C-alpha cells in the first residue's frame, strides 16, 4: 500500500481543475496511509487578508469532505497545525539551492522578475518538499502544473540522503489520465486557475447548476465544426478532456460519439456530465456548511495523526543534521 500525500492551497475558490486534476482521485481510493492537507502556509506567499485566509482554510476543508474524503480513513489536516512543516522547511532550505528554485516555472510566472515579491514565494517549493518528505510519501497525486515541484522534491530528498545518510523516501508524482490540465474556458491557452481574473472561464465548485451550464455553453470553441482533439483546436480539446474526466471515457471514444454533431450538442453533453458529477458534491457541501463542528473535529483528529508521523521523521532528521537533542 503506497503512502500518498497531496495538498491544496486555500487561495481563491476551488474549481473544477482542482476537482478533476486532484480531489476526485483522492476520494476514489481511500486508505489509512493517505494524507491530504490544506496548505495555509503556502497561501501566505502572496498578499492576503488574514480573516479571509482563516475562512478559506475551513471552507476548503469542507469542500474536501464534501468530495467524499472520510476523515476516519484518511488523514485530513491543516498544514500550520503541524509545526514540523515549518521546521523541516528551514532544514531543507539549507539543502535546496538558489539556482534550482530560480528555475521554477511557477515562481517565474508569479514573481515576474519583481524584487518586491516575498521570499516565501521563492521558497514555496521547499515548503512543499517538506510537506511531502515529512510523511515519507511515495506517491503525490497532483495536476500537471505541480510536476516540476515534485521533481524538485525528489532532487532535494536525494541530496539530503546523500549528504546525511538515508532519511527520506523519494516520492513520485501521479497524474490523472484526463483532466491533468484543465484549461480556462474563455482562454483555452491558459490553465484554469483560482485567480479571480477570468470568472467566465473558471467553473468554481461553488457555482450553481445554471452558472455551470452557462459557462460551458459559452466556452470558446474553434473555427470549423469538428469535435476532435488537436493542437490547433485548444478550446474543443479542452472540452473533450473535461468530458473525458467527467465520464471516465477515453477521448477517442468521445470523438467517435460526436462525429457529425455540432458544437452545441457537444457542449450540452459536457455541461450535463459536469453538472452530474458535481451535484452530489455540491449537495454534501451545503449540508456540511451547516455543521462546522464536524469539520473542526475532523481537522483536529487529522492534525493529531499527521503530527505523530511528522514528529517521528523530525527526530531522525534533527539527529542526522547535527542538532542536539
Instruction: For residue 172, list its beta bridge partners.
Output: 139
Instruction: Confirm whether 9 is a catalytic residue.
Output: no
Does residue 201 touch ligand TYM according to CB under 6 A? no
Quick one: 174 or 294, whose CB is closer to ligand TYM? 174
Q: Is 134 in the site for ligand TYM (CB under 6 A)?
A: no
5 or 266: CB nearest ligand TYM: 5
Q: What does the DSSP assignment read for 32-96? A: TTEEEEE-TTGGGGS---HHHHHHHHHHHHHHHHHTT--TTTSEEEEGGGSTHHHHHHHHHHTTS
Toward ligand TYM, which CB reaches closer, 191 or 214? 191
CB atoms under 10 Å from CB of 297, counted, come to 12
188 contacts ligand TYM (rule: CB under 6 A)? no
- Residue window 25-54: x/- pattern of binding to ligand TYM, with contact defined by CB under 6 A: --------------x--x------------
Identity of the residue, 191 or 228, whose beta carbon is nearer to ligand TYM in the bound complex: 191
Interface region with ligand TYM, contact rule CB under 6 A, candidates 7-15, 215-223, 224-232, 274-282: 7-15
**Which of 209, 196, 203 lies closest to 182, judged by CA?**
203
Pick the closer one to ligand TYM by CB: 154 or 181.
181
**Dist CA 304 CA 103 (whole Å):** 35
Residue 157 Cβ, how far from ligand TYM at the closest point, in Å?
13
> Cα dihedral angle (307, 311, 312, 317), rounded to 10 degrees?
140
- Which listed residue (65, 82, 142, 203) binds ligand TYM by CB under 6 A? 142
**3-state secondary structure (DSSP) of residue 309:** helix
Cα–chain center distance at 146: 8
Write out the binding residues for ligand TYM, residues 66-125 only, by CB under 6 A. none
Phi, psi at residue 78, to the nearest 5°? -100, 130
- 220 vs 217: CA distance, rounded Å: 9
Return the residue of 61, 66, 78, 140 that touches ligand TYM, per CB under 6 A.
140
Residue, CB closest to ligand TYM = 21
- Please say whether the beta carbons of 157 and 126 come within 8 A: no
Q: Which of 9, 13, 194, 215 is catalytic?
A: 194
Q: Can you tell me the distance from the alpha carbon of 59 to that of 169, in angstroms, rounded to the nearest whole number?
A: 32
- Which span sits near ligand TYM by CB under 6 A: 93-101, 180-188, 231-239, 279-287? 180-188
Contact flag: residue 219 with ligand TYM (CB under 6 A)? no
61: β partners: none
Say how far apart CA 95 and CA 92 lie, in whole Å: 5
Using CB under 6 A as the binding rule, whether residue 18 contacts ligand TYM is answered as yes
Distance CA 285, CA 289 (A): 6
| Total of residues contacting ligand TYM (CB under 6 A) | 26
Task: Report the alpha-carbon distance of residue 263 to residue 239 in Å, rounded.
Answer: 10
**Looking at 9, 13, 108, 110, which residue is catalytic?**
110
Residues 146-165 that bind ligand TYM (CB under 6 A): 146
Distance of alpha carbon 228 from alpha carbon 212, whole angstroms? 23
Q: Is 191 in the site for ligand TYM (CB under 6 A)?
A: yes
Does 246 participate in binding ligand TYM (rule CB under 6 A)? no
Residues near ligand TYM, by CB under 6 A:
5-9, 17-18, 21-22, 39, 42, 128, 131-132, 140, 142-143, 145-146, 179-182, 191-193
The catalytic residues are: 110, 191, 194
Amino acid at each position: 500500500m503506497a503512502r500518498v500525500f497531496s495538498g491544496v492551497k486555500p487561495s481563491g475558490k476551488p474549481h473544477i481543475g482542482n476537482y478533476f486534476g486532484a480531489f476526485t482521485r483522492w476520494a476514489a481510493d481511500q486508505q489509512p496511509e493517505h494524507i491530504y492537507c490544506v496548505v495555509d502556509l503556502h497561501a501566505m506567499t502572496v498578499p492576503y487578508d488574514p480573516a479571509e485566509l482563516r475562512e478559506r482554510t475551513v471552507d476548503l476543508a469542507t469542500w474536501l469532505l464534501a468530495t467524499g474524503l472520510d476523515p476516519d480513513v484518511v488523514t485530513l489536516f491543516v498544514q500550520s497545525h503541524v509545526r514540523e512543516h515549518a521546521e523541516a522547511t528551514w532544514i531543507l532550505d539549507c539543502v535546496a539551492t538558489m539556482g534550482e528554485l530560480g528555475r521554477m516555472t511557477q515562481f517565474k510566472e508569479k514573481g515576474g522578475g519583481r524584487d518586491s515579491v516575498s521570499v516565501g514565494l521563492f521558497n514555496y517549493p521547499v515548503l512543499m518538499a517538506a510537506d511531502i518528505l515529512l510523511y515519507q510519501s511515495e506517491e503525490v497525486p497532483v495536476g500537471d502544473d505541480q510536476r516540476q515541484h515534485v521533481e524538485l522534491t525528489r532532487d532535494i530528498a536525494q541530496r539530503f540522503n546523500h549528504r546525511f545518510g538515508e532519511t527520506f523516501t523519494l516520492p513520485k508524482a501521479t497524474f490523472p489520465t484526463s483532466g491533468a490540465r484543465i484549461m480556462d474556458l474563455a482562454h483555452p491557452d491558459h490553465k484554469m486557475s483560482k485567480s479571480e481574473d477570468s470568472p467566465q472561464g473558471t467553473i468554481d465548485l461553488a457555482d450553481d447548476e445554471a452558472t455551470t451550464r452557462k459557462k460551458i455553453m459559452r466556452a470558446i470553441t474553434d473555427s470549423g465544426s469538428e469535435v476532435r482533439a488537436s493542437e490547433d483546436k485548444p478550446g474543443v480539446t479542452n472540452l473533450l478532456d473535461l468530458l473525458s474526466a467527467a465520464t471516465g471515457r477515453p477521448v477517442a471514444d468521445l470523438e467517435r460519439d460526436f462525429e457529425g454533431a455540432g458544437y452545441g450538442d457537444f457542449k450540452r453533453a459536457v455541461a450535463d456530465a459536469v453538472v452530474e458529477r458535481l451535484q452530489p458534491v455540491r449537495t454534501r457541501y451545503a449540508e456540511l456548511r451547516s455543521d462546522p463542528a464536524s469539520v473542526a473535529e475532523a481537522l483536529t483528529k487529522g492534525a493529531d495523526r499527521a503530527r505523530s508521523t511528522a514528529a517521528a521523521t523530525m527526530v531522525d532528521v534533527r539527529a542526522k543534521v547535527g542538532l542536539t537533542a
